[in-house]
Structure 1
Amino acid sequence: MADTDQLLETPLGGLHRELGGRMVPFAGYAMPVQYPAGILTEHLHVRSQAGLFDVSHMGQAELVGEGAAAALERVTPADVQALKPGRQRYGLLMTPTGGIFDDFMVANLGDRLFLVVNASRKHEDFALIEQGLPAGVRLNRLPDRALLALQGPGAAAALGPVAPALTALTFMGITAAEVAGVPILASRSGYTGEDGWEISAPAEQAEALAKALLALPGVMPAGLGARDSLRLEAGLCLYGSDIDETTSPVEAALVWSIGKRRRMAWDFPGAERVREELANGAARVRVGLKPEGRQPARGHTAIHAPGGGAIGEITSGGFGPSLGGPMAMGYVARDHATDGTALDLMVRGKPLAARVAPMPFVPHRYAR
């Protein structure tokens, strides 16, 4: 769909155009892939100072009522009941056959749970969570809220003077606060591997908030292009590319998101497959890949054993501006997954030498 006329707009659509954003279709929305500075500049600016992303296309909701945490655990292996007020965690929604329905964030706000899910899956996710909710527990969708991500090592210095409550948080902490007169809910988290915040605000005040954040020292707007290269350098999965209903948490190397208590009870959807793969190993596993030379290998590139047959496929790949070279992640047969293993990436029918590499490609710098 090249035409952006039929696409949904976020509350910041007008501002993106004002800033010279190049709009492209993404998950049913018109979103800025880049601004005039370009993807490379935006990416490196986020790694050195701070960038502001519009992620308002994501789904936001609240789960309210007595027993909300236990109700959410019917569809996720995350330990939601152990989540303390003011804290957030990453979780997976599961299919009955052990595939990943989506990944999401859940926060305990004391009197309710706050959820953020992927844009492309939000309607399916909310329907899944709502199925069979016990009496007294309800899901409130929040379509009238925007979501902004301020990311980078300079974010704290920029934000501190205007929102000290936010800089007091540690990684995965969440609190209500006010920035430039706008009431917000912010978690110290993000999708770049850098320190930063994801900031939920009323849609009608989103533009005022975005302008206030962009006016802070060292902050520039950043689009989807930089967001993708940053998250790949950080070794973070993109739903629909690196994880989907065919991949299990074991294959995807996301077992850490399954709570210890849940791994003893095995009472979540798909537990049988997860348990079997943990005991006997998954047939394929997600790994990092570093192609030799400068040529990147993109998603859906076949991975072969050197001089041999196909053993897997790249799911995300590109050039890492901070890494200074190409990088990829994908799935390979388990016996080819050890760091340093030599592989061939079949780029335009020709083998491109590569090695299995540890992720993240660029170290995380979260404020722990």
Structure 2
Amino acid sequence: MLEVSERGHAMPMSPYRRLTPFADAAKQRGVHVHHLNIGQPDIETPPVMLAAVQQANIRVLEYSPSAGYPSYRRTLATYYQRVGIPVEADDILVTTGGSEAIFFALMSCLNPGDELIVPEPFYGAYTAFAVATDVRIVPVTSHLSTGFMLPPLADFERCITPRTKALLLCTPNNPTGYVYSRAEMEQLKDLCLRHNLYLLSDEAYREFCYDRDFVSALHLSGADDHIVVLDTISKRYSACGARIGAFVTKNKALQQAAFKFAQMRVSPPGLAQVLAEAASELPDTYFDHTKAEYLTRRDLMVRRLQAMPGVECPVPGGAFYVMAQLPIDDCDTFCRWLLESFSHQHQTVMLTPASGFYATPGLGKQETRMAYVLNCEALDAALNCLEHALAEYPGRTVAQRPTCPTAGVAS
């Protein structure tokens, strides 16, 4: 009998999409579903970028170069230089979204069976990429009670074995919203230098830091050969569907290895690079409005959540996510119940259970990630639904952890 591969069986469902069938069924029943489960912004994609595609004078849509159009790579290098990241066009490989950048990094930096240290909770897709590349994730746990700040360096040291080849960090963090400080980034850089590890830095949300300056791994000195920045325009310009990202490193041997994987898939999307290159026409003040809007939404969500009995959540310093502990028995059960059995004024809310962001079994059982990607009116309505749901849920329980202190929370 034909069988699916072991890899196919091991591949996890997306933590933010696996409840989609239940959301679709709720909509078919006439229930409006507020989506706080996925980081799909409702901010308008800049019209100048869309116009560049609409007005492109293209007779034949050809393959682009495997590394991406030279003009776009030069434009992207200028963007990085403007935010203090000293790279040139040759240091950049254009990828099909940030996802492909992650895939290229794991394929280029680690062998099958090698170990990748990742602070948890972490972006759920990292697990899928580890399965696809036969890499073992070794988690180091951060905690909601400290605002998900970097765990002690000794926790990382204890995880290092002869099979450890890299450390993967996301800053600002998805799912926690934590922004790693320069001191924390320097600690991780020094750790990688001492143990000869790669430092892979997922920086998809760099523009959205609210209480602390952003520090890129490539802002750090003396470790260029160890560092790979993984990037995407998806969140930066609210262009998730463009599928344009970047693999950025000054390590020439690593860049060449990744380029061979890029040739395997032939080329990144051509029209999407036209769209992305047009971002250079945006004014320097473009992010001011977007950042202010997300900050307003963050403050609304945190204020509402912290006012709900039994709910604990630190204040995220960046990105557009909140991790919260709810007074419930099991978040996977609760999130499904929201879609199957609950409605408030013919509305409900779709959340992401946090269990999909942890590698350590049993963690995140009472936690959820919420994305503040809706306008404030819709966000307020979604939080009304959540507040009523928590009051009605049959599995409501008393939260076990103490209230998060203000000190140590992302600031």
TM-score by length of 1: 0.32
Q: Which has the higher helix share?
A: 2
Higher relative contact order (CA 8 A, sep 6+): 2
TM-score (norm 2): 0.30
